[in-house]
Structure 1
Amino acid sequence: MSVSVFAVEDSAPALRALRKQLAGREEVRFIGAAASGEEALREIPLAAPQVVLMDIELPGLSGIETTKALKALPQPMEVLALTSFDDEERVFAAMRAGASGYVVKGVSTARLIEAIVEVEAGGTIIEPRLARRFWAFFKGVQEPRKAGPELSELEREILFAIARGLSNEEAGRIVQLDRRTVRTHLGHIYQKLGVRSHVEAVVRALKLGLIEL
């Protein structure tokens, strides 16, 4: 079944390019667009997309602020940040606001669709070369260990792979499981850690000392 996609992009040429990239693809359905954060907050609850492509450099209400507002809504959706530059600070801020990953504008159609499908499946899109700095940005002060459920060795391996910037499928190759089974294990990890996303799971595990990079 195809993934429904909504774009938030103030540049008409960039939006046309996105539409062209996604047109006629079996994996995705382009269901709407907004030119501002304010418009997005009005339209997205009605459109109910599975994935939102978010320009993080919007004028007015920024893409980062819009992402934070969207992730506070009760309906589930994933946000994939779009940026013109591989800017660490902007990317990290977007993911802190709730984005599941980012792609640079102009990325190949194959890579864009791969990223959309990956975040819809609960994955995180971050360049492996940025992974260590990314998690250090989030980690802050380590929390004292508390009594509670422990992660199994397999769960730690999966989470460590995700923390290195690998996709669910790539993590599955390491532990010799298919992507669907990896996703099931991640669901168990979420429950144990009391979180709802890859980013929250890795940050929580790092703070509790359950995994190390």
Structure 2
Amino acid sequence: MTIQLYLCEDNAIFARDLIEKLPRMVDVRFCGHAECAEAALADPALDGADVLLLDLEMPGNGGLWCIEQLSLRESYPEILVLTTTSSEDVVFLAIQKGAAGYLLKGTALKKVYQGIVDVSEGGCVIDSQLAARFWNLFLSARGRSGPNYELNPEEIDLLNLMARGLSNPELGSAMGRKRTNIKKMLARIYRKMSVNSRVEAVRLAMQAGLVEL
């Protein structure tokens, strides 16, 4: 199934590079492009997108405002932030407001593509350079308490790797498992922990002392 991708990016050269190169990778098609949040929100093409690839630093109200506005809608695409801002406070705000992932510009195109796939499938992607700082901030904001879970050692290993910001293929390589097996393991972890996302699974595991950074 082809992933419908909408790009909100004001840097014309960077945008053109993404629009030219990403579709060469299977299963990605650009359905629209805007240079500011206001234009993207007013574009009917955004309604047909599976994933919004969003810069934060743009003219007008910017990317965080865009995430906020989208979260008020009945339905909206998964949001993958691709920006230069590496502040853990900004990463925290973006995820808290509704982004499914956060990558830094300069990330290899292959990893950007994998991030698009992961968030389209309901995953959460945090740039590996930012992961430890993000999870520590996320945990301190929520408080450190929580029950233990009936997780086996392999599932705990997987959670620790997730906290480092690894994508599904990287998790598979590290665990010596196929990607389909990783997805099944994630589903099993989510059921055991009664959560629906990587963010919540890692947060609860950290609260329970199962994950250390």
Decide: shared fold, TM above 0.5. yes
What whole-Å deviation, never above 9, does each CA across 1:145-192 have from its counterpart, x for those lacking one? Answer: 37xx53333322211110122222222233332112211221232233
Cα distance change of structure 1 residues 115 and 144 upon mapping to structure 2, 3 Å threshold: closer
Q: For residue 150 of structure 1, what is the aligned residue in structure 2?
A: 150
SS in 2 for 1:81: strand
Q: Corresponding residue for 2:208?
A: 208
Rounded Cα–Cα distance in structure 1 between residues aligned with 2:139 and 2:130: 14
Tell whether the 8 Å contact from 2:91 to 2:134 is kept in structure 1 after alignment: no
2:60 equivalent to 1:60: yes
1:32 paired with 2:28, answer no
State percent identity of aligned pairs.
37
Is the 1:143–1:208 contact (alpha carbons within 8 Å) kept by the matching residues of 2? yes
Deviations 1:79-104 (A, max 9, x none): 11121344443333323323233333
- Unaligned stretches of 5+ residues in structure 2: none
Structure 2: distance between partners of 1:199 and 1:181: 20
Shift of 1:53: 0.3
**Whole-angstrom CA distance in 2 between matches of 1:45 and 1:26:** 21
Deviations 1:16-62 (A, max 9, x none): 33322334442311111233323333436863322110111133333
Structure 1 gaps of 5+ residues are none
- The answer to which of 169-178 and 154-163 deviates more is 169-178
Distance 1:37 1:194, change over 3 A: farther
User: Structure 2 CA distance, aligned partners of 1:144 and 1:197?
Assistant: 17
1:130 deviates by 2.9
- TM-score normalized by structure 1? 0.81
Q: CA deviation at 1:73?
A: 4.2
Contact 2:146 2:204 (8 Å CA) reproduced? no
- Equivalenced residues, count: 211
User: Residues 49 and 186 (structure 1 numbering): CA distance in 2 closer, same or farther, change over 3 Å?
Assistant: same
| Secondary structure of 1:63 counterpart | helix
Matched, 1:165 2:165: yes
Instruction: Determine the C-alpha separation between the residues in 2 that align with 1:33 and 1:172.
Output: 33
Q: Shift in Å at residue 107 of structure 1?
A: 4.4
Q: Return the TM-score normalized by structure 2.
A: 0.81
Q: Residue in 2 aligned with 1:81?
A: 81
- Alignment CA distance shift 1:110-1:164 (3 Å): closer
Q: Give the stretch that moved more between structures: 196-205 or 66-75.
A: 66-75
Map of 1:136 onto structure 2: 136
Q: Partners in 2 of 1:125 and 1:144 — Cα distance?
A: 23
Paired residue for 1:109? 109
- Say whether 1:185 aligns with 2:185: yes
3-state DSSP of counterpart to 2:130:
helix
Q: Secondary structure at the match of 1:128?
A: coil
